Amino acid sequence: MATSFIRTPRQYEQDCHILHSYFSGNVGAISNKEVVGIFVNRDSNALKLIRQTYSHWYGQDLLQFVSNVQRNNSFARIAYLRMVDPYERDAQLMRHSLFGGSLNLNTLIEVACTRPSSELLQIKHCYQTQYKSDLEKDLTMKINGGFKEILVAVLRSCRNYGSKVDMSLAMCDAKTLYEALESGKNIDQRTIISVLSRRNNGQIRAILSSYKQLYGQELSKSVKRSKCGQFGKELQVVIRCIQHPEKFFAKQLRMKNADGREILIRTVVTRSRIDIKGINKAFATKTGSSLENLVVREFGSSKNKNNDIVVGILVGLIKGG
Using CA of residue 216, residue 192, residue 105, residue 299, what is the dihedral sign? Answer: negative
Cβ atoms within 10 Å of 55's Cβ, excluding its own: 15
Residues 6+ apart with CB under 8 A from 232: 187, 223, 224, 225
CA nearest neighbour of 17 among 5, 7, 30: 30
In sequence order, the 6+-apart residues with CB closer than 8 A to the CB of 171 are 210, 214
Q: Is 299 annotated as a binding residue?
A: no
| Cβ(155)–Cβ(147) below 8 Å | no
296 labeled part of a ligand binding site: yes
Q: Which is nearest to 205 in space by CA: 175, 241, 229?
A: 241
Phi first, then psi, for residue 302 (nearest 5°) are -80, 150
260 is in an annotated binding site: no
State which amino acid sits at residue 103: L
DSSP, res 259: T
d(CA 27, CA 8): 24
CA distance 197 to 153: 4
Q: For residue 154, is it left (φ>0), alpha (ψ between -120 and 50) or beta? A: alpha
Give the residue numbers of the binding site for Ca(2+). 23, 25, 28, 296, 298
Give the residue numbers of the binding site. 23, 25, 28, 296, 298
